[in-house]
Amino acid sequence: MSRCKWCGTIHSNTLTIHALVRFELQPDTLCFQCREKLESLNDQLTCRGCSRIQDKTDYCPDCLSWQKTYQGHTHIHEAMYAYNEFASQIIEQFKFTGDCAIAELFVKEVKEYFRKIGQTALIIPIPVSRESYSTRGFNQTELLLAVSGVTYNSVLVNRYQCGRQSGKNRKQRLESPQPFEIDPCHGELIRGKPVVLVDDIYTTGRTIYHALDLILPMEPSSIRSFSLFR
């Protein structure tokens, strides 16, 4: 028996044969009712480029637009869940209330994703502004990786003192200037390595493509990105 880390309900954990064979004995952090509120993108028709829900599996208009800008690079972004009302509540609690325990909700999923990616990839979390870090006390993406036991490198630095994407509309997000720079202590780690950029939410793609602007010239062997929500 376990207590749901979201609603507090006591629930039982059912181990599948798959979990037993793989020795995945970690109990589910969410009860069945809360788990059902998460809308898995694996069950949806999604854009092959950014995991956006749509009525076909071709590239969405946003990805086609990005491909025109970044000719020669077709980016692949994978996300786990749709950013629905329940996901919004979770992110609100996590990022804006500063409840670091929320990171524990997704340990199993994050572990499994990066187990499939393999140990050779360079995992790079998207950094937050100094204001956000000071207010919250943590970078939510780094915390998600840390509690899941995923090794990462803070190659990117957010040079902005303040500014939150959450307060901007779509046009403002897309027109936002480059907020990142490469940490010179870690830059050489990129060359020749497969890179995975990690963020909590993918919205317009602007944040990920800002990161790509800096990392692609460093000649990684490949680059893709991942987020919990899309």
List alpha helices for the chain, DSSP H: 17-21, 32-37, 61-69, 85-91, 107-117, 130-136, 140-147, 170-174, 206-215
What are the mean pLDDT values of the chain's consecutive 10-residue runs (230 residues total)?
Answer: 88 55 63 94 95 94 96 94 98 92 94 92 96 92 97 94 69 90 91 97 96 96 98
Euclidean distance between CA atoms 115 and 224, whole angstroms: 15
- Check whether residue 33 and residue 63 sit in a common domain: no
pLDDT value of position 164: 64
- Check whether residue 1 and residue 42 sit in a common domain: no
- Integer angstrom CA distances of residue 37 from 82, 173, 191: 10, 28, 40
- Check whether residue 132 and residue 160 sit in a common domain: yes
* Domain membership of residue 214 as a residue range: 38-229
- Check whether residue 105 and residue 24 sit in a common domain: no
When divided into structural domains, the chain yields a total of 2
pLDDT value of position 162: 59
pLDDT value of position 19: 47
pLDDT value of position 183: 94
- Check whether residue 123 and residue 170 sit in a common domain: yes
- Check whether residue 19 and residue 122 sit in a common domain: no
- Check whether residue 117 and residue 20 sit in a common domain: no
Render 136-159 in DSSP notation, one character per residue. HSS-HHHHHHHHTT------EEE-
Beta bridge partners of 225: 77, 197
- Check whether residue 14 and residue 66 sit in a common domain: no
pLDDT value of position 26: 62
- Check whether residue 117 and residue 210 sit in a common domain: yes
- Check whether residue 22 and residue 47 sit in a common domain: no
Sequence-distant contacts of 48-52: CB under 8 A, at least 24 apart:
48/76, 49/74, 49/75, 49/76, 49/77, 50/75, 50/77, 50/79, 50/202, 50/205, 50/230, 51/77, 51/78, 51/79, 51/202, 51/230, 52/230
List alpha helices for 38-82, DSSP H: 61-69
**CATH classification of the domain holding 138:** 3.40.50
- Check whether residue 1 and residue 49 sit in a common domain: no
pLDDT value of position 171: 86
- Check whether residue 54 and residue 3 sit in a common domain: no
pLDDT value of position 24: 53
